[in-house]
Amino acid sequence: MKRFRICAALAAVTMLAGCGVNTPPADSGSTATTAAATTAAGTTASSGTAAATTAAETTAAQTTAAAQTTASAGDAPELAGYKLLWHDEFNGDKLDESIWTRELRQPGWTNSELQEYTDSDANIFVKDGNLVLKAVKSQKDGKDYYTSGKVNSQNKQDFTYGKVVARAKVPVGQGLWPAIWMMPKDEQHYGQWPKCGEIDIMEVLGSDTKTAYCTVHYGEPHAEQQGTKVLTAGGFEEFHDYSVEWEPGEMRWYIDDELILTVNDWFTAVQGEDEKPYPAPFDQPFFVQMNLAVGGTWPGNPDDKTDFDKAEFQIDYVRVYQKEKYDTNVKKPEAKFRKALDDGNFIYNGDFKEKEDLTDDTNWKFLLFEGGEGAAEIKDGQIVITSQNEGTVDYSVQLVQPELPMVKGKKYRVTFDAWADEKRDIITCISAPTAGWIRYLPDTTLTLETAKKTFTYEFEMTEKTDPNGRLEFNMGHRGSTATVHITNVRVEEIK
């Protein structure tokens, strides 16, 4: 499971799973933790290409035959261009263990989560046409103890390429973290996470049920791309539809049939070696899994207001469709790098002379997470950020501009003018939303006075070249909601 920012208006996301690694929210202002290299698994470039092609050509027929009985039972709608591969409508009175395995895990297995995943009917059960994964709070050795449910289809309903559709509702409560996601059947084929790849169809934090995340993880070094959907009415504690279309050269995520994220430029490699042939690692069989985590590096721990009587992740159905055939002759698109303006500035509209939509993914974007409340407005050659609630994390109130080209070996200077209506702190950085949320310019706390002041920072790019660096101004959780003013923002290459 994992995190987020823009260009993935993403927020902290850690790996949902299995390999025991964390990643922060996409739009988080915290420093990401990247996975250490463990095993150099995988094939050579030539044999890897042949194996991937064979798998892509044969898997559709093999998995369709294996799932024929499952697909023919129950009611699931037809989708144009697809055949139903397998599905579960959860219309019975118990879990269908020909599809699902109850996964057992101890507390702290991954992401510093608190729950024990059990096979108990108290944590995993089917009721009223839904699969219910329920978190239970009890006492053990005089301390709070949590159990919950996790199921997966590994070695029972694995498949390569297809469309996964699920309908679900999430619980409300601090520290609850439901997810529907996918991992490879053979995690060691390309190496341990993140080299193996991970597809997160949906994640929602119980502390902010208006925001849902979809993410893909790959690498190494660890990279991710993430999309978010923020509801303006209602929340994801009501039933919503989540889906991913996984094809050899592209993945597309949808929430309620709205396209949220498109990704086609992933990679995998052993640290220090050449990349494996594209589209690795997403050219191998994956399986679906679902869980309700408690606590962890992203959501934080439950509090006194978390109602465990209602801590239920309910899934109405899971349906997997597949096309008759897929074109596996795909090439990775070339990276596109933003060009600097005539004055050398990589920031567009850095003087705020032009009004723009601050909710889209073009140039500036204003974001709110984890209890942050506020607004941003461009006027009089500046951007003015007002806050009503500072939220619980530094990125709760956030202004960003992505797509900054960061080239290994180059030096850069960041400058801007800023002030506030009252003395207060903010945090700035240049982050890597598609490269594990590492920092090219480290998180830097600065104090704003009521008089305008120019701030200047220089750094050398020592990491792998990245076309998607992101300048951030984080104004959440700083002990102040004083209005912030910013103008004359520049990011430029220097000698």
Catalytic residue list:
198, 203
* Rounded Cα gap, residues 251 and 243, in angstroms: 10
* C-alpha distances out from residue 41 to 189, 195, 461, Å: 6, 9, 29
Specify the residue for token string 């991937």: 52
Residues β-bridged to residue 126: 131
Residues β-bridged to residue 315: 131, 168
* Rounded Cα gap, residues 269 and 275, in angstroms: 4
* Rounded Cα gap, residues 276 and 51, in angstroms: 12
β-strand 365-368 against 176-184: which pairing, if any? unpaired
Query: Are residues 348 and 402 in contact, defined by beta-carbon separation less than 8 angstroms?
Result: no
Which residues have CB under 8 Å from 200's CB, separation 6+?
1, 2, 13, 16, 179, 180, 181, 182, 213, 214, 215, 216, 217
CA atoms within 13 Å, Cβ hemisphere of 273: 20
Instruction: Centre a 10 Å sphere on the Cβ of residue 36 and count the other Cβ atoms it contains.
Output: 10
The edge-to-edge listing of strands for the beta sheet with 115-117 is 115-117, 143-148, 136-140
* Rounded Cα gap, residues 22 and 436, in angstroms: 10
Q: What one-letter code names the amino acid at 292?
A: L
Residues β-bridged to residue 399: 366, 473
Residues β-bridged to residue 469: 404
Burial 299-319 (b: 16+ CB within 10 A, else e): bbebeeebebeebbbbbbbbb
Burial 269-298 (b: 16+ CB within 10 A, else e): bbeeeeebbbbbbbbbbbbbbbbbbbbbbb
CA atoms within 13 Å, Cβ hemisphere of 437: 32
Query: Are residues 444 and 418 in contact, defined by beta-carbon separation less than 8 angstroms?
Result: no
Cis ω before 433 (30° cut-off from 0)? no
Token representation of residue 472: 């951030």
